[in-house]
């Protein structure tokens, strides 16, 4: 097993790994911006060196960090670039779509243990690894398995992992420089829904070097990606979106599962062998959405779901938009929803008064 390490963070793989510290630059730069300390970055390739200020300024705006001084030396001794092309592969909708889209170009699938699946959870990762190996064989690709503690040793970045995982992906990409000259990062959102986020079309490519080009694969909506997947039954049957399962392939209960099942239902591809038959109106209404998830749920409103399911999706979105707990259909929860609505309304009414007290009195 090969390993690179820096500042208590490590990445390891059976694949050949870089023999420089350049892979750790994303980690060190984001930590410095968050902490307000000088970013000591050692030797940096000319291409990446030219983008460091842009990356720093972007993170400083997005996480309300600091435009810290950059201390580095431009490297003049660059190793020869590798020939391979890789794709970060999780087994979900986005990475499966990118694999199908670029199947003739991609040589390697990179599966990471330590991002979504904690390092201690070897049972869940064994399922993911088995699925990824099956997919790699099906598509004629090489599977590269990586283990890292990047997620759990992340800097204290406002927004947490959601604002940092793109830099972590960049670190893994650069650490594997000896096996590829380009690596695809599957997009989570289409152009219509991009927003400040850890992996972003404006940010990810800036981590590239002369030897490793990082490509953010964007353009299609989640529903457009699903339309392609349903045309490939072998891929659809191996789809894995769930990292919250308790032993099942996809749990069929979490937000990611429900969202994907709804999309497949709209396309006439549900029930699906990759998911349990758990889709009900009640479970849809009960989903508590985040901002990022709500963007993907809004796509479902125009997807052609049956009227009753469409109404349930709208109910979940309305709960999020209103700041209310999701509906469960029980009397006790509905009373709590009304009390929450009254409290929110009262806070809205008081906010101008509180602003006046703080700024005038």
Same-domain pairing of 23 and 98: yes
Q: Which of 220, 184, 170 is nearest to 102 (CA)?
A: 184
Same-domain pairing of 186 and 251: no
- What's the domain count of the chain? 2
Q: What is the average per-residue pLDDT within 114-133?
A: 92
Same-domain pairing of 80 and 202: yes
Same-domain pairing of 128 and 161: yes
Same-domain pairing of 80 and 181: yes
Tokens linked to 356: 């006046």
Domain span at residue 317 reads: 241-322
Same-domain pairing of 257 and 118: no
Q: Does residue 350 lie in a domain region?
A: no
Q: What tens digit of pLDDT does each residue of 29-84 get?
A: 999 999 999 999 999 999 999 999 999 999 999 998 999 999 999 998 888 889 99
The contacts found for 152-161 with CB under 8 angstroms, 24 or more apart, are 152/114, 152/118, 152/119, 153/8, 153/9, 155/27, 155/30, 155/31, 155/34, 155/35, 156/34, 156/35, 157/30, 157/34, 157/63, 157/65, 158/34, 158/63, 158/64, 158/65, 159/62, 159/63, 159/198, 161/198
Q: Does residue 229 lie in a domain region?
A: no
Same-domain pairing of 248 and 158: no
Residues 6+ apart with CB under 8 A from 341: 322, 324
Same-domain pairing of 287 and 202: no
Same-domain pairing of 145 and 44: yes
Chain CA centroid to CA 354, Å: 38
Q: What tens digit of pLDDT does each residue of 196-218 get?
A: 888 999 999 999 999 999 999 99
Q: Does residue 215 or residue 292 have the better pLDDT?
A: 215
């Amino acid at each position: 097993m090969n390993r690179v390490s820096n500042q208590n963070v490590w990445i390891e793989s059976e694949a050949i790994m870089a023999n420089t510290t350049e892979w750790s630059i994303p980690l060190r730069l984001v930590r410095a911006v968050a902490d307000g300390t000088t970013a000591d970055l050692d030797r940096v390739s000319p291409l990446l060196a030219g983008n460091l200020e842009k990356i720093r300024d972007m993170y400083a705006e997005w996480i309300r960090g600091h435009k810290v001084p950059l201390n580095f030396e431009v490297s003049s001794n660059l190793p020869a670039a590798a020939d391979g092309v890789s794709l970060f592969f999780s087994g979900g909708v986005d990475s499966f779509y990118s694999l199908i889209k670029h199947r003739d170009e991609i040589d390697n699938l990179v599966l990471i243990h330590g991002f979504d699946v904690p390092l201690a959870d070897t049972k869940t990762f064994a399922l993911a690894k088995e699925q990824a190996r099956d997919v790699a064989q099906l598509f004629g690709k090489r599977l590269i398995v990586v283990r890292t503690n990047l997620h759990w040793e992340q800097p204290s970045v406002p927004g947490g992992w959601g604002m940092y995982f793109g830099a972590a992906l960049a670190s893994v990409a650069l650490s594997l420089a000896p096996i590829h000259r380009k690596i695809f990062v599957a997009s989570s959102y289409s152009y219509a829904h991009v927003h400040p986020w850890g992996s972003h079309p404006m940010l990810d490519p800036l981590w590239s070097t002369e030897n490793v080009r990082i490509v953010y694969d964007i353009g299609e909506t989640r529903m457009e990606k699903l339309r392609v997947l349903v045309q490939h039954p072998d891929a659809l049957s191996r789809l894995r979106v769930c990292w919250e399962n308790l032993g099942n392939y996809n749990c069929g209960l979490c937000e990611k599962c429900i969202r994907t099942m709804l999309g497949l239902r709209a396309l006439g591809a549900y029930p699906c062998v990759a998911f349990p038959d758990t889709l009900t109106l009640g479970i849809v209404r009960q989903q508590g959405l985040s901002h990022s998830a709500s963007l993907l749920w809004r796509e479902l409103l125009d997807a052609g779901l049956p009227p009753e399911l469409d109404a349930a999706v709208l109910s979940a979105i309305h709960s999020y938009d209103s700041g209310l707990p999701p509906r469960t259909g029980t009397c006790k929860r509905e009373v709590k929803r009304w009390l929450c609505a009254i409290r929110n309304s009262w806070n809205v009414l008081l906010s101008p008064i509180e602003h006046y007290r703080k700024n005038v009195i």
